[in-house]
Amino acid sequence: MSLNREKYQAFVTLLEQLRSDATSTQILTPELRQGVASLQQFFRQQIVPLADVGDEASLQGEAWRVQSYQTEMSKQLRLLEIDVMFLQGARQASTAQTRLQAISDRLTTLIQYCDAILQAEAEGEK
């Protein structure tokens, strides 16, 4: 397994863990906020540098696709942070539940982006 695949897999694991925590337990907002901050830090330090795939002409199309996914992932992470702030401000249980569902959906979207990158990379190795 390539180093890129390992880093994306580690990111997916973090995403899945946070999604599981947000949906299955009574997670406190500060813990959720810390989890999102950890995701953002991992993304900036481990995932963003992976977009620099190389200079070979055959890889430029793939690098462009990865860069595009990473741009979307960055946007989703920022929106996730906002969702957590809205959750913190929720006064009614039904509103909090709606916010938790939005957070779960956003984490699922991030996982799907990672899966798409991993699948493209796997196809490129064939």
Which amino acid belongs to residue 58?
Answer: S
Cα 112 from Cα 32, distance rounded (Å): 20
Per-residue confidence (pLDDT) for residue 47, from 0 to 100: 93
CATH number at residue 112: 1.20.120.330
Query: What's the pTM value of the predicted model, to 2 decimals?
Result: 0.88
Per-residue confidence (pLDDT) for residue 57, from 0 to 100: 41
Cα 26 from Cα 3, distance rounded (Å): 35
> Each residue's pLDDT tens digit in the chain (126 positions)?
577 899 999 999 999 999 998 887 677 888 999 999 999 999 999 999 887 654 444 456 677 888 899 999 999 999 999 999 999 999 998 999 999 999 999 999 999 999 999 998 777 766
Q: How many domains does the chain have?
A: 1
DSSP-assigned letters across all residues of 85-117:
HHHHH--SHHHHHHHHHHHHHHHHHHHHHHHHH
Q: Domain of 78? A: 3-125
